Amino acid sequence: MGTVEAGLDYSSSDTQHHKELDAEALFVLKSRGSWLHCGYHLTTSIVAPALLSLPFAFALLGWVAGVSCLIIAVLVTFYSYNLLSKVLEHHAQLGQRQLRFRDMASDILGPRWGRYFVGPLQFSLCYAAVIACTLLGGQSLKFIYLLCNSSGTMKLYEFVAIFGVLMLILAQIPSFHSLRHINLISLTLCLAYSTCATIDSTYIGNSVNAPPKDSSVNGDGKDQLFGAFNAISIIATTYGNGIIPEIQVYLQPTNELVEKKYGDPKSNQFSIRKVVPRLFLRSLLVVVATILAAMFPFFGDINALIGAFGCIPLDFVLPMVFYNVTFKPSRKALLFWGNTAIAMLFSMLGVLGAISSVRQIVIDAKLYQVFANI
């Protein structure tokens, strides 16, 4: 993982070259951290709220298929990240340091791929993740509220709005490097939650008053089929945010693009000319995300949509394409056909997952009204 920007240390000449070319990217995606910072940036991006929808995915697949799909996702993403590392190192040796994922697409596949395909996918993924996190935060606050006051009358959208205020504050943190302490706290809390959930579930499941165990998949054949593709998309989100060279945490890649367009690249990063557009644009993005989270409170469905449209193409398809185009392995080689098979298989799964996730959102939207108190 030597190419992760959170832990990368530029030489002075390389840094100066990039400052001249793209000062905004170097500021927002600032890389002053150590390898320890790199480790928990990457881990936090994976040990993320998507984990909380894994039980939903397992319920749609069953234990055997669910665990199998999770293991396959681990192996394929580990393989794809190693391919990305090799591609990045190769281009760095040629003097092309690629700061962003869309830069890779532009350099390897052509400018239109970066601008019209990878860029929109990446930004949509980041923004959908913010919506999902805001919704999850609101749901968690509501659950705590009901534990303390079972007859409380506050609605889910009120808690989403409260959590949106917190997200509004976090959004103003200027650069990727500035998130290191927050990500460390987040990682600790996620690991603590996972540990407690595992211990509690094991204890309850083996207690005297444990509910009957039923691992069967509900629904008829059609619902089970669509549910399976939905579940695969959800599992894809589990490892989907650890994309290198940019780790997809919060809105940092999106912030970099927006602030570069509407700010003054020649101004000091903390000048009024930079701070005011940054404050306004980041706040606007979070406010809209909070409204959408309150309007459509379907956490599992949103995660499936993220996986199908964003994570599967960026994690399971493009790394193999980048490697084959960059290194041009022989068409008689197992490596070439292995990469091609993985890319084709997950392309089909992405399309089917997208259809399934949109279908499920439409079904849930008919069952619940806008701003539903789920």
Question: SS3 sequence, 161-221?
Answer: HHHHHHHHHHCCCCCCHHHHHHHHHHHHHHHHHHHHHHHHHHHHHCCCCCCCCCCCCCCCH
Domain count, the chain: 1
Is residue 8 a part of any domain in this protein?
no
- Nearest Cα neighbor of 245 from 2, 78, 4, 33 is 4
Block means of pLDDT (10 residues each) for the chain, 374 residues, are: 38 43 55 71 71 84 91 90 90 82 88 89 83 89 93 92 92 76 82 86 85 80 89 82 59 74 69 80 92 86 82 90 95 94 94 90 81 82
Nearest CA to 306 out of 62, 57, 74 is that of 57
The whole-model pTM stands at: 0.81
Residue whose token pair is 């691992």:
215
Distance, in Å, from the CA atom of 103 to the CA atom of 134, rounded to the nearest integer, reads: 29
For the chain, what is the total number of helices (H) and then of strands (E)?
Answer: 16, 0
Any domain includes 17: no
Q: Which residues contact 170 (CB under 8 A, 6 or more apart)?
A: 182, 250
* pLDDT for residue 129: 80
Looking at residue 265, its pLDDT comes to 62
- Within a domain: residue 30? no
Burial class (CB in 10 A: 0-12, 13-18, 19+), 368: middle
Which of 152, 186, 173, 21 has the alpha carbon at shortest distance from 98?
21
| pLDDT of the residue at 243 | 60
CB distance 357 to 122 below 8 Å: no
Residue 311 belongs to some domain of the structure:
yes
Whether residue 330 is contained in a domain is answered as yes
Residue 41 is assigned to a structural domain of this protein: no
Answer whether residue 356 is part of any domain: yes
- The pLDDT, as a whole number, for residue 234 is 85
- In a domain? residue 39: no
Structural domain harbouring 257 = 59-89+99-200+221-367
- CA dist., res. 278 & res. 263, Å (int): 8
